[in-house]
Structure 1
Amino acid sequence: MMKHVMNRPEWLGKLREDILEPDLPVIDPHHHLWDRLGPYFCDELLEDLSSGHNIKASVFIQCRWSHKSGGPAHLRPVGETEAVARVAAQAATKAPSVNACAGIVGFADLTKPDVLDETLAAHKAASSRFKGVRHITAVDAGFDDALPDIDPGVMMQEDFRAGFAKLAAHGLSYDAWLYHPQIPEFTDLARAYPDTVMVLDHFGGPLGVGPYRGKSDDVFTDWKASMTELATCPNAHIKLGGLAMDVIGFDLHDQPLPPSSGEMARLWRPFVDTTIELFGAERCMFESNFPVDRGSCDYPVLWNAFKRLAAGASADEKTALFHDTAAKVYRL
Structure 2
Amino acid sequence: MPVVDAHQHFWNLRTGSYPWLTPEAGPIYRTFEPEEFVPQLAAAGIDRTVLVQAMDSYADTDAMLAQADEHDFIAAVVGWVPLNRPAEAAQALERYGRHPKFAGVRHLIHDDPDPDWVIQDSVIEGLGLLAEVGLPFDVVAVLPRHLEHVPVLAERVPGLRMVIDHLAKPPIKEKGWEPWASLIAAAAECPGVYAKVSGLNTAADAETWTAGDLRPYVDHAIEVFGPDRLMFGSDWPVAVLAGDYAKVWRETGALLAELSDDDRSAVLGGTAARFYRIEV
Counterpart residue number, 1:29: 6
Q: Distance in 1 between matches of 2:97 and 2:62?
A: 10
Q: Distance in 2 between matches of 1:152 and 1:277?
A: 28
1:48 alignment partner AA: Q
Give runs of ≥4 in structure 1 deviating > 6 Å.
Answer: none
CA RMSD of aligned residues (A): 1.9
1:251 alignment partner AA: D
1:136 alignment partner AA: L
Secondary structure, aligned partner of 2:3 = strand
**Structure number with bigger Rg:** 1
Mark the CA change 1:325 to 1:228 in structure 2 (over 3 Å): closer, same or farther.
same
Q: Distance in 1 between matches of 2:69 and 2:87?
A: 33
Q: Of the candidates 233, 248, 263, which is equivalent to residue 287 of structure 1?
A: 233
Q: Distance in 2 between matches of 1:89 and 1:231?
A: 34
1:54 equivalenced with 2:45 (yes/no): yes
Counterpart residue number, 1:165: 128
Q: Distance in 2 between matches of 1:204 and 1:295?
A: 18
Q: Of the candidates 179, 185, 193, which is equivalent to residue 236 of structure 1?
A: 193
Query: Structure 2: where are the runs of 5+ without partners?
Result: 13-20, 22-27
* Contact 1:111–1:163 (CA under 8 A) maintained in structure 2: yes
Secondary structure, aligned partner of 1:64 = coil
Give me the TM-score of the superposition, normalised by structure 1: 0.74
Counterpart residue number, 2:181: 224
Give me the TM-score of the superposition, normalised by structure 2: 0.87
Mark the CA change 1:26 to 1:273 in structure 2 (over 3 Å): closer, same or farther.
same
Q: Of the candidates 192, 199, 202, which is equivalent to residue 166 of structure 2?
A: 202
1:45 equivalenced with 2:9 (yes/no): no
Secondary structure, aligned partner of 1:48 = helix
Counterpart residue number, 1:323: 269
Q: Distance in 1 between matches of 2:73 and 2:2?
A: 14
Q: Distance in 2 between matches of 1:186 and 1:288?
A: 23
Q: Distance in 1 between matches of 2:69 and 2:101?
A: 11
Between the aligned residues of both structures, percent identity stands at 31
1:180 deviates by: 4.0
* Contact 1:84–1:101 (CA under 8 A) maintained in structure 2: no
Q: Distance in 1 between matches of 2:258 and 2:171?
A: 27
* Contact 2:68–2:77 (CA under 8 A) maintained in structure 1: no
1:115 deviates by: 1.5
1:84 equivalenced with 2:64 (yes/no): yes
Counterpart residue number, 2:24: none
* Contact 2:124–2:156 (CA under 8 A) maintained in structure 1: no
- CA offsets per residue over residues 41-83 of structure 1, 9 Å max, x none? 02012122112x2211001000028x5xxxxxxxxx1x33332
* Contact 1:180–1:206 (CA under 8 A) maintained in structure 2: no
Q: Superposition pairs for residues 299-318 of structure 1, below 5 Å?
A: 299-318=245-264
* Contact 2:65–2:102 (CA under 8 A) maintained in structure 1: no
1:122 equivalenced with 2:95 (yes/no): yes
* Contact 1:155–1:186 (CA under 8 A) maintained in structure 2: no
Secondary structure, aligned partner of 1:290 = coil
Mark the CA change 1:48 to 1:150 in structure 2 (over 3 Å): closer, same or farther.
farther
Q: Structure 1 or 2: larger helix share? A: 2
Secondary structure, aligned partner of 1:28 = strand
